[in-house]
Chain A
Amino acid sequence: QSALTQPASVSGSPGQSITISCTGTSSDVGGYTYVSWYQQHPGKAPKLMIYDVNNRPSGVSNRFSGSKSGNTASLTISGLQAEDEADYYCSSYSPSSTQYVFGTGTKVTVL
């Protein structure tokens, strides 16, 4: 399975909204609702931010939201804050292949 495709970088000013895309195929992102998103600050372990396309774990700010259309999933960060500056990775699980695949990663910069 090939890595899911994400833009290398996305930037925005504080208070703005940004959206990160994650493109796969009908065998992974497009075929199921098993898309998750992870935030990773430099030198730290990834942190689960969104699961099953649009669900937030307890404790994650409601400024983070997810969606999906066809083979592309998206993560939107609204009211951008300095602490949101990090790398973000999408991931998809395929029950048919029982495989996980991660995205190429997106660096979010807060201007």
Chain B
Amino acid sequence: GAGVSQTPSNKVTEKGKYVELRCDPISGHTALYWYRQSLGQGPEFLIYFQGTGAADDSGLPNDRFFAVRPEGSVSTLKIQRTERGDSAVYLCASSKDPVNYEQYFGPGTRLTVT
């Protein structure tokens, strides 16, 4: 079946601009996660949705970052006033059940801020 998809695959933006990254989870998966992976590092947690609500946003680095999941399926990660330090691969994952089931990851969006 279809896996987690993310668009765009690559995004280049100028410092100070606003960007939106989209994630389509696996159908029927209620839990959705956003992670950020910098070069040479493991993914770092940003935010977790259970259904439409953000159950845990403790990983968001500051208030320039925001994410929504209005209908409990597709999610959008929004970054305002981008900075060069935001450059990374942004990964989305979904799972059938947040406790006992594994997370399935999308291919990621590579964000480059110039």
Same assembly: no
